[in-house]
Structure 1
Amino acid sequence: MQDFIFLLKAAFLGVVEGITEFLPISSTAHLLIVGDWIGFDAGQDKVYEIVIQLGSILAVMWVYRQQIAKICVGTIKRERTELLFVRNLLLAFLPAAVIGLLLIKYIKQLLDGQFIVYAITLVLGGLIMLWVESRPSMAKHSTQNEEALSHQTRKIEDISIAQALTVGFAQCLAMIPGTSRSGATIIAGMLAGIHRKTATEFSFFLAMPTMIAATVLSLYKYGAQLSQSNLLAIIIGFIFAFFSALVVVKALLSFVAKYSYRPFGWYRIIFGLIVAAWVYNLV
């Protein structure tokens, strides 16, 4: 019975990871905080987190499998559209790759595991999200809005070098616990003049090289911790993360095509305040 409950918790956290990885609400914060709330201990927490995050990224790669194949073929044939697409991804990937290698160790030593940091970044990120969505150019049914939207970048291959680098440097903010990689890149893209849906898709594509690189690096560092004792829990978490992420990616694209990110901003603020209250034993 105890083993069953342990595996049930592993499955539940897999769902949490799959749901939150591509939403702008910080998957790491949810994994660590919810894991602590339900008393989940995988014995090798870092490896568990790495593997189930890989499940999420493989899910988004599956959703975009046709586009990925088209990009690969087009790049080999040196077609302009695909080359520009790859150029923008590489430009956005480089800042996090370089800065991450230089600073991530020190940032983790300073801030990692401090739940009050998650609370602060969740609330601040939510406030920024609400501010971005409240700008006049984001308002519906206005001549000003229609004119602003007409100048927004609507295709990833049309993203400029400056826009790609803006998103790339914003991704570096995700090294601060609770910031949210997807939240930072999507909001930065919108501020840089990229259409909301396009910024969301660009964030998804950018997640692929970024998270695969992070997974390989982390497995190199922590792979020795992997053992058979909790292998089943890791496999279950991976499977549930994969399938829940499949649902979320499709649903999020449909949602942002019609609505704004305001609900996620309010969610971050509320969740952050709950975490702060929990840290100070108020709840």
Structure 2
Amino acid sequence: MEFLEIIKAIILGVVEGITEWLPVSSTGHMILVDEFLKLNVSPEFMEMFLVVIQLGAILAVVILYWKKIFPFTFDNKGMHIEKDTFSMWFKIVVACLPAAVVGLLFDDQLNALFYNPTTVAIMLIVFGILFIVVENYNKGKRPTINSLADITYTTAIIIGIWQLIAAVFPGTSRSGATIVGALLIGVSRTVAAEFTFFLAIPVMFGASALKLLKFGFSFTGNELILLVVGLVVAFIVSVIAIKFLMTYIKKHDFKVFGWYRIVLGIIVLAYFYIIK
């Protein structure tokens, strides 16, 4: 295998690790990166690779938030069940249902209809504007939901519907859509981000499993190396990106990501319809 191919896998892992958690659309970035940096692999493997390296990103959430997401504790008296954690997981499942059902039934059709630079660019810009509008609307207001325990099933369903928008329209950003939806209904920035991280665990595990099943498990040696490299890099970079985001939003709002999305959307449109 050429060393250059490993470098490409590393770059893709870096892009995934950063953009999966920051609300800037991993799809928008991957479309641009793929134009200039193509792995020497089959289209089928590439499609699977871009989804499955998300498992590395998910592992970062699992490790960083293990105490908050694992529903069992152990001491000298044995095992104990954390009821609040179990309750949170039931709410996560409820929030994931809309996107899961639509994804299972219409994944191929939605990709064929909407996975294109125009849709991605438009959704980048639309949700960039939404971030700015929502943050301006919320300025001076105190959030009503300040902990994960405060999230009700109704709140979870509403956030899940916003996640469905991201599942249908590439470029929306799953984290971007769910954070916007959460902010609109009074969830604090920190809780919105954490709930979004936890929502990603079943969603991305499910998406990766589907892609692996469609592709099969008959990897060549080179393909396996590229996949492992992408996974490991996505994990390492995700740890850094998550820590950065949680530190950043304690003192700042999401408007900078809104402006970034608008600029990126314009760049995508300009490249595919003017420059290319």
TM-score with structure 2 setting the length: 0.91
Q: Deviation at 1:199?
A: 0.5
Residues 1:92 and 2:101 aligned together: no
Q: Deviation at 1:83?
A: 3.4
Residues 1:250 and 2:252 aligned together: no
Residues 1:38 and 2:37 aligned together: yes
State, as a whole percentage, how many aligned pairs show the same letter.
36
Amino acid at match of 2:195: F
Q: Secondary structure of 1:190's partner?
A: helix
Q: Which residue pairs with 1:115 in the alignment?
A: 117
Q: Which residue pairs with 2:48 in the alignment?
A: 47
What is the CA RMSD across the aligned residues, in angstroms?
1.9
Amino acid at match of 1:153: I
Q: Deviation at 1:78?
A: 5.3
Quick one: distance in 1 between partners of 2:231 and 2:184? 34
Q: Which residue pairs with 1:231 in the alignment?
A: 224
Q: Could you tell me which of 154, 167, 172 is aligned with 1:162? A: 154
Quick one: distance in 1 between partners of 2:69 and 2:253? 27
Amino acid at match of 1:161: Y
Deviations 1:97-154 (A, max 9, x none): 1222223222112122x1122111111111111111111x3x2xxxxx2xx31x5101
Deviations 1:198-245 (A, max 9, x none): 000000011111111111122111124632232222221111111000
TM-score with structure 1 setting the length: 0.89
Q: How many residues align?
A: 269
* 1:203-242 pair list within 5 angstroms: 203-224=196-217, 226-242=219-235
Q: Secondary structure of 1:120's partner?
A: helix
Tell which deviates more after alignment, 88-97 or 240-249. 88-97
Amino acid at match of 1:236: V
* 1:65-214 pair list within 5 angstroms: 65-69=66-70, 71-73=71-73, 77=80, 79-112=82-115, 114-135=116-137, 137=138, 139=139, 145=140, 148-149=141-142, 151-175=143-167, 176-214=169-207
Quick one: distance in 2 between partners of 1:268 and 1:88? 29
Quick one: distance in 1 between partners of 2:218 and 2:153? 41
Show structure 1 runs of 5+ residues with no match: 140-144
Q: Is the 8 A contact 1:47 1:225 kept in 2?
A: no
Residues 1:57 and 2:58 aligned together: yes
Quick one: distance in 1 between partners of 2:72 and 2:212? 26
Q: Is the 8 A contact 2:68 2:85 kept in 1?
A: no
Q: Which residue pairs with 1:11 in the alignment?
A: 10
Q: Is the 8 A contact 2:128 2:262 kept in 1?
A: yes
Q: Which residue pairs with 2:275 in the alignment?
A: 282
Show structure 2 runs of 5+ residues with no match: none
* 1:18-29 pair list within 5 angstroms: 18-29=17-28
Quick one: distance in 2 between partners of 1:161 and 1:178? 27
In structure 2, relative to structure 1, the CA distance for the partners of 1:55 and 1:106 (3 Å cut) is same
Quick one: distance in 1 between partners of 2:263 and 2:208? 30
Q: Which residue pairs with 1:142 in the alignment?
A: none
